[in-house]
Amino acid sequence: MYTEILSSPATFVIEPRGFLTGQLRVPGDKSISHRAIMLGALAEGITYIKGFLEGEDTLATLEAFRMLGVTIQGPEKGGDIRIHGVGLQGLQAPRVPIYLGNSGTSMRLLAGLFAGQAFNVELVGDTSLSRRPMRRVCDPLTQMGAFIETTYQGTPPLFIHGGRFLHGMEYIMPIASAQVKSSLLLAGLYATGETRIIESTPTRDHTERMLIGFGYPIEQSGASISVQGGGKLYGTAIEVPADISSAAFFIVGALISTGSDILLEHVGINPTRTGVIDILRRMGAEIEVEESGIVGGEPVAAIRVKASKLYGIEIPKELVSLAIDEFPAIFIAAACAEGQTTLTGAEELRIKESDRIQVMADGLQALGISVKPTPDGIIIQGGQLQGGEVNSHGDHRCAMAFAIAGLAAKNTIIVHDCANVATSFPGFIGLASAAGLAINHA
Ligand code: S3P
C-alpha cells in the first residue's frame, strides 16, 4: 500500500536585513520536467534529460513511471536522466495505487495519459491534492470514452478504468488551464480520430512544444490545437531551462531591497510564462531580459534585476493566466509598492495548492499590510512590511513569497509550514542565503 510521506514541518525565520546580489541559477522548470518524463516514457528509444527538477512533485511523476515498468536511470549530477522509453503501448499495470504527493500537474496529466491504457490505475495524493478539483479533467475525458471514478465531490483518489476505447472530440475549454489542455492532448494520443482543444485564453504550451520535439505531429491554428491518435513518439534529448516560477522569488526579492543587483541564468522565457515580468515592469521594475537561444524548443534568457521603485497597478486580466503561479511573489511586490494594486479574474488562485488569495491576504495582514481579498482577486495597499508570524498552509509558493518579504521588512518574519518548498524548489534556503537573504530553519 502507499504511505503518505510526511516531511517534518519546517519553519523559516527571516531576519530583516540584506539585499540580493550575484549570479544564480534556480532549479529546472517543473512543468517541463513533468512532461519530459511522461513523453520520454512513452517514446520509442532513449530520452536524455538534462537539468531535470529534482523536486518532490516531479520525482512523483518519475516514480509513477517506474511503477509502470519503465526503466529510468538517474537523476544524477544536477538532473541528468536517461529514460528507456517503452512506446505508447508498452506501459505495464502497477501493482499498487500511485501516490503523487502534492502534485496537481502529475494527477491531472496522468489522468489523461492513463485513460486510454489497457489496465486500471488508482491515483492518490496528499491532503492538499486530495481536496483539489478533478472534474475539470474527468468530465471531458469521460466525453472521450474514459471511465474515471472520483469521490462524490469530484476530488482524488482517481480510479481510472482500463480497457476503454477513446475517441477524439472537439473541446472548447471552459477555464484557462494548461493542465486540462495537456491531459486531453495526452488522452488524444490514444484516441481514434482527432482531438481538438480550443482555448479561450492562452495557457502554457510546453506540452505542444514537447510533442513536436518528440516527433509527434500536432496542428495549431490560432486558439485551436489538435492531435490525431495512433502516432509515435521518438526518444530525444531535452534540456530543461531554469524555472521562471522559482526565479520570480529572486526577481521580486531584488526589486524590493535597496542595493540588490542579480543575474538569473538560463531562465525559461516561454511567452506563455512571462506574465510576471510584464506585470512587474508595469509596476516600474527594472528587469533586463537577454535572450540567449532556444533549448529543447523553449526560449531561454539571462535576467538582470536591480532594486526598483514600484507603483501599484491594476493588473490586466489578460496577463493572469500567463503569471498564474507567480502571484504570491507579485503580491509581495505590491505590498512594497507605492499605491494600490488590484487583481481581478484570478479565481483559479483559490484552488491551487492552497487558497492563495486567502493565505497571502492573511499573511500580509499579519505583516502590517492593508489587504482586501475578493472572490476573484485581491486589493493590496502598498506600505511598510513589519515583522510577524505567518502560515503558508503547506503551500510552497506562499512560503517562499513570505520568505523574500523579509528583504523589505522592519522586523523578523517567521513562516510556518514550509516543508513543501521541496516540491518545487529543493535547495531554496541555500541559494537564497548565498544571494543575501538572512534565512534560517527554526
Ligand atoms: C501547470 C499548469 C498550471 C500551474 C501549475 C502547473 C502545468 O495549472 O498553475 O503549477 O504544468 O501544466 P493550471 O493549468 O491548472 O492553471
Per-residue model confidence as pLDDT tens digits over 242-264 = 999 999 999 999 999 999 999 99
350 is in an annotated binding site: no
Predicted confidence (pLDDT) per residue in 85-107, tens digit: 999 999 999 999 999 999 999 99
In this prediction, residues 15-33 reach a mean pLDDT of 97
Active site includes 261? no
- Give me the residue label for grid cell 475549454: 173
Q: Is the pLDDT of residue 4 over 60?
A: no
From the CA of 321, give the closest atom in ligand 1.
16
Predicted confidence (pLDDT) per residue in 334-359, tens digit: 999 999 999 999 999 999 999 999 99
Ligand 1 pocket at CB < 6 A: 31, 105, 177-179, 182, 203-204, 324-325, 348
Q: Is the pLDDT of residue 424 over 90?
A: yes
Name the segment(s) of the chain with CATH classification 3.65.10.10. 2-26+243-441, 30-238
Q: Where are the beta strands (DSSP E) in 118-253?
A: 121-124, 148-149, 158-160, 170-172, 194-198, 218-221, 224-228, 237-239
Q: Is the pLDDT of residue 6 over 50?
A: no
The answer as to CATH 3.40.50.2300 being correct for domain 30-238 is no
From the CA of 178, give the closest atom in ligand 1.
14
From 37, 177, 240, 420, give the residue whose CB has the most ligand 1 atoms within 8 Å, as the site to mutate. Answer: 177
User: Using the 8-state DSSP alphabet, how is residue 390 labeled?
Assistant: E
Q: Report the CATH fold assignment for 2-26+243-441.
A: UDP-n-acetylglucosamine1-carboxyvinyl-transferase; Chain (3.65.10)
Q: How confident is the model at residue 9 (pLDDT cuts 50, 70, 90)?
A: low
Mean pLDDT of the chain: 96
**Residue, of 78 and 418, whose pLDDT is higher:** 418
By CB atoms closer than 10 A (0-12, 13-18, 19+), residue 222 is exposed
Distance CA 420, CA 57 (A): 10
Q: Which pLDDT score is estimated for 78?
A: 82
Strand arrangement of the beta sheet that strand 340-343 belongs to: 340-343, 377-381, 370-374
Q: Is the pLDDT of residue 8 over 70?
A: no
Q: Which pLDDT score is estimated for 356?
A: 98
Q: Is the pLDDT of residue 2 over 50?
A: no
Distance CA 387, CA 405 (A): 9
Distance CA 137, CA 156 (A): 12
- Catalytic hit among 57, 325, 355, 417: 325
pTM: 0.97
Predicted confidence (pLDDT) per residue in 193-216, tens digit: 999 999 999 999 999 999 999 999
177 is in an annotated binding site: yes
